């Protein structure tokens, strides 16, 4: 969806999954810091509005957008965070440097999400000019940092429900029927693990 003409940053904290007792890391590029700082503040405020404690939101600075991937990788390896938000800003210049940087960070974040269980949320603005970035960092088109935080919370709720990364609540479990359990070998934590297959619960009227 194109951002122009839309403010996609409006949200209702009461309608979103809660961030209570969760830990988040925001990796923030120093390049175009006025934009990236605004994105970070938007993400932090949204997480706090949904229940995250200030001490559970870590800010990590890196020089530029290309360095985001490595920092996010080390944080994923630490397994200390429930979600990581990569925040950066790349603005089109006179050379192809813009294309190389955008491709690098986009592919890097994609690979991290394929490799690790910890979700890495892409919050890198890639704009034609500075004004477009400002418009999306608290300007007329909202704040993409807020949207990244909302995406992180929604992904964590999805992961907890379908992959049991954290315990599923009784209310969540009531929406599903447990139909099959399989024990299988895994590499970390213990020699054996469990896979739980869940099917949506349907009312009789749906059959």
Supply the residues annotated as catalytic. 97
Retrieve residue 162's tokens. 């379908």
Which residues have CB under 8 Å from 28's CB, separation 6+?
Answer: 36, 37, 39, 40, 59, 60, 61, 62, 87, 88
Instruction: Identify which of 96, 83, 98, 84 has the alpha carbon closest to the alpha carbon of residue 31.
Output: 98
Retrieve residue 87's tokens. 């925040």
Q: How far apart are CA 167 and CA 9, in angstroms?
A: 29
Q: How far apart are CA 26 and CA 49, in angstroms?
A: 16
């Amino acid at each position: 969806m194109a951002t122009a003409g839309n403010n996609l940053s409006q949200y209702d904290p009461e309608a979103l999954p809660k961030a209570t007792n969760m830990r988040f890391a925001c990796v923030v590029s120093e390049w175009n810091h006025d934009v990236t700082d605004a994105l970070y503040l938007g993400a932090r405020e949204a997480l706090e509005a949904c229940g995250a404690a200030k001490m559970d939101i870590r800010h990590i600075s890196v020089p530029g957008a290309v360095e985001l991937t490595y920092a996010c990788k080390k944080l994923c390896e630490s397994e200390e965070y429930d979600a990581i938000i990569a925040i950066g800003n790349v603005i089109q210049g006179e050379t192809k440097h813009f294309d190389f940087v955008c491709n690098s960070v986009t592919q890097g974040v994609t690979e991290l999400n394929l490799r690790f269980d910890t979700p890495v949320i892409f919050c890198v603005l890639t704009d034609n000019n500075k004004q477009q970035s400002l418009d999306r960092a608290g300007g007329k088109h909202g704040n993409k940092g807020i949207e990244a935080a909302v995406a992180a919370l929604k992904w964590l709720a999805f992961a907890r429900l379908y992959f049991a990364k954290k315990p599923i609540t009784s209310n969540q479990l009531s929406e599903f029927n447990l139909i099959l359990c399989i024990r299988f070998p895994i590499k970390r934590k213990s020699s054996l693990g469990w896979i739980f297959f869940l099917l949506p619960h349907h009312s009789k009227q749906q059959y």
